[in-house]
Chain A
Amino acid sequence: MPRPTTGEFPISSTVTPPPPRLYRAPEHRLAAGVAAGIADHLGISVVRVRVAFMVLLGLSGLGLLLYAAFWAVVPLRPGDAVPPRRDLAQLLPFVAIGLGVLLTQVMVFDSVGAAGTAGWLVAIIAVGAGVIWHQSAPERRRQWGESMPVPWLGAVVEESDRRAFVLRFIGGGVLVAVGIIGVAAVYSPAQNFDAVINGVIFALVGLAGVGVVAAPVLWRTWNQLRSEREGRIREQERAELAAMVHDQVLHTLALIQRNASDVKTVQRLARGQERSLRNWLYKPTGSPTERFAAALEQAAAEVEDTFAITVEAVVVGDRETDERVGALVAAAREALVNAARHAAVQTVSLYAEVEPDQVSVFVRDRGKGFDPDTVEDHRHGVRGSIIGRMKRHGGRAEIRSEPGEGTEVRLILPITGAGSATERDR
């Protein structure tokens, strides 16, 4: 009877006793004190527990597997001094019983059938439960790792260092591979449906066991990856902001310092930088070639940069551009240029509204103003670029201006066709 023999496990006695758990009881032991510990824990006779182990041997050696599993994961009772010697005389009856049970089993069941599979299944579940219990008591686990006589075995159960992860993964992988190969080798020749089911169960249980062992590691690894990714994203954003500040803001500030006496230039630089930062911070990105609002704002930005004025642009609603809307934007741009050139003001208002049946743009300044009737025929700006262009595309333009009262250009473009209402929503 191959009963496991135990080595001497030094236990540090300075650890404060944790809440009551299952421990091996070295003072009543025959082999490793497993049966005595279980008996203590359950409050039943030691002999009954030992007999139960022996009887379980009949299920393909389940008793032995269970005993080994308990031995592996159940710690010695803390605070106990060096365990007393094994009592070999007492051990003998149980060895005998075990041999008998094994013999009976061999005689009764000649082959490894469904019963054998069930035995393995229960054994693996027992090991898995032991592993879970083992991981639930970190203090005991640490002690166990320290007291391991073989260092690499300690690394397998210790989960706090990187080498242990690798060992676990490799071990788990080997187990799964061996299990699958074994199942294929043992059961594939059999044409019996029962055996195939058994094989599948075996493989699933093996996988579940590996999953249970690897779960904490996988979980923590995933958490680590996630926090690393978050950190990387933050770092990337910071780098992007730093690049933006360097490329634009610092250069603009340097230019402003060197042109401090030129008010116009300073204003133009500051305004351009403000617009750029504002877009970067608050504006959703839109392509000027596709969206009306983006196109209009781009036109306003160009006028601002060229003429060193401020365009207060307010756009309500949005829609896609087409040829007619493009013409409207061009007319609005021309009106802005006129205001910047002739009105002698710092600020021009630009208001655009997209309604279901029309798009309207208003360009207003509070500058010098003029009398529209006196504009000479050869001045093409207003007549050609604004009024003419709007007429050609089915819209209209009004110019209201009085000397001293400023100027307002109103551009209206009716929208025809379905689908325009939905275009209002950005």
Chain B
Amino acid sequence: MAEHGPVEGAQPRDGRLRVFLVDDHAMFRAGVRAELGGHVEVVGEASTVTEAVNRIAATQPDVVLLDVHMPDGGGRAVLDAMRRTHPQVKFLALSVSDAAEDVIGLIRAGARGYVTKTISPDELTDAIRRVADGDAVFSPRLAGFVLDAFAARPDAPVADPELDQLTNREREVLRLLARGYAYKEIAKELFISIKTVETHVSNVLRKLQMSNRYELSRWAADRRLV
């Protein structure tokens, strides 16, 4: 799990981040491209899984904005194909769906964050920057899902406490995220540095990806998500 800043040479000379768009709706790609135009450099677009896999390998972007629902397997398939071969490319899921199974599924597949398509352009630019810096981006809703997942069964037997339990601090951070606080507001509220907040959030993401399959699948099954 690379979380120590972008790889050398990944950024162009003017410092703008290189972003790749994967979405099967051309209109939406055009809209995002227009919104992002000034702040990041959009180096490519793809509308299918195969096209995405090929073009991402060719263009080597910093961040890929990934749609969840596409024909032929969707964002999940792109993630599965790219993650091993190109670990330096960060993926930010950008979807119209905020259903728990989509969100958790993409995060578990290795996306570094998850935002919905109703996000404002400024927030999207900020999310891209954070993901490129190796941080995790949690929407309030995603924080809610995680809290739900880990809080629903406090007494459940846990195979690997290191990975499966959130610390109290992480829970606090997630609660504040779910309440709509920005990272810097959380830092102020908890009297810690922004960097610490980001570390906590990244740890939650790591636990979410690594937590044992059994717990999460049972959580999903309990809610009839799978």
Which one of A317, A349, A366 lies within 8 Å of B151 (CB-CB)? Answer: A317
B147 at the interface (CB under 8 A from A): yes
Q: Which B residues are in CB contact (< 8 Å) with A425?
A: 152-153, 222
B224 at the interface (CB under 8 A from A): yes
Contact: B151 with A312, CB < 8 Å? no
B118 at the interface (CB under 8 A from A): yes
Interface size on A, residues (CB 8 A): 22
Most buried by A among B97, B148, B152, B153: B148
Which one of B99, B147, B175, B222 lies within 8 Å of A282 (CB-CB)? Answer: B99
- Chain B residue, CB-CB nearest to A270: B118
Q: Which of A328-371 contact B (CB under 8 A)?
A: 349, 351, 353, 355, 362, 364, 366
A213 at the interface (CB under 8 A from B): no
Contact: B222 with A316, CB < 8 Å? no
B90 at the interface (CB under 8 A from A): no
- Chain B residue, CB-CB nearest to A282: B99
Q: Which A residues are in CB contact (< 8 Å) with B179?
A: 349, 351, 362, 364, 408
A220 at the interface (CB under 8 A from B): no
Contact: B147 with A312, CB < 8 Å? no
CB within 8 Å for A316 and B151 given contacts A349-B140, A362-B179: yes
A249 at the interface (CB under 8 A from B): no
**Distance from B223 Cβ to chain A, minimum over Cβ atoms (Å):** 6
Q: Which A residues are in CB contact (< 8 Å) with B98?
A: 278, 282
- Chain A residue, CB-CB nearest to B123: A347
Q: Which B residues are in CB contact (< 8 Å) with A139?
A: none
B141 at the interface (CB under 8 A from A): yes
**Distance from B119 Cβ to chain A, minimum over Cβ atoms (Å):** 10
Contact: A364 with B224, CB < 8 Å? no
Q: Which of A42-67 contact B (CB under 8 A)?
A: none
Which one of A284, A310, A316, A355 lies within 8 Å of B144 (CB-CB)? Answer: A316
A281 to B118, CA, bound (A): 17
**Distance from A244 Cβ to chain B, minimum over Cβ atoms (Å):** 16
**Distance from B181 Cβ to chain A, minimum over Cβ atoms (Å):** 8
Contact: A316 with B223, CB < 8 Å? no
- Chain A residue, CB-CB nearest to B224: A284
A316 to B149, CA, bound (A): 9
**Distance from B80 Cβ to chain A, minimum over Cβ atoms (Å):** 23
Q: Which B residues are in CB contact (< 8 Å) with A312?
A: 140-141, 180
Q: Which B residues are in CB contact (< 8 Å) with A349?
A: 140, 179-180
**Distance from A398 Cβ to chain B, minimum over Cβ atoms (Å):** 13
Contact: B180 with A351, CB < 8 Å? yes
CB within 8 Å for A353 and B175 given contacts A314-B141, A317-B152, A425-B152: yes
CB within 8 Å for A316 and B97 given contacts A424-B152, A425-B152: no
A163 to B128, CA, bound (A): 69
CB within 8 Å for A316 and B147 given contacts A282-B97, A353-B175, A426-B223: yes
Contact: A274 with B118, CB < 8 Å? yes
B interface footprint on A271-310 (CB within 8 Å = 1, 0 otherwise): 0001000100110100000000000000000000000001
Contact: A351 with B151, CB < 8 Å? no
B68 at the interface (CB under 8 A from A): no
- Chain B residue, CB-CB nearest to A314: B144
B interface footprint on A220-259 (CB within 8 Å = 1, 0 otherwise): 0000000000000000000000000000000000000000
Contact: A314 with B178, CB < 8 Å? yes
Q: Which A residues are in CB contact (< 8 Å) with B223?
A: 284, 426
Q: Which of B120-175 contact A (CB under 8 A)?
A: 140-141, 143-144, 147-148, 151-153, 175
A288 to B97, CA, bound (A): 23
A315 at the interface (CB under 8 A from B): yes
Contact: B178 with A316, CB < 8 Å? yes
Chain A residues with a Cβ under 8 A of chain B = 274, 278, 281-282, 284, 310, 312, 314-317, 349, 351, 353, 355, 362, 364, 366, 408, 424-426
Report 5 cross-chain contacts, Cβ distance below 8 Å, ordered by A residue: A282-B97, A349-B140, A351-B140, A424-B152, A425-B153
Apart from the given pairs A274-B118, A314-B143, A353-B175, 19 other A-B contacts in the complex at a CB distance below 8 Å: A278-B98, A282-B99, A284-B223, A284-B224, A310-B118, A312-B180, A314-B144, A316-B148, A316-B151, A317-B151, A351-B144, A362-B179, A364-B179, A364-B180, A364-B181, A424-B151, A424-B152, A425-B222, A426-B223
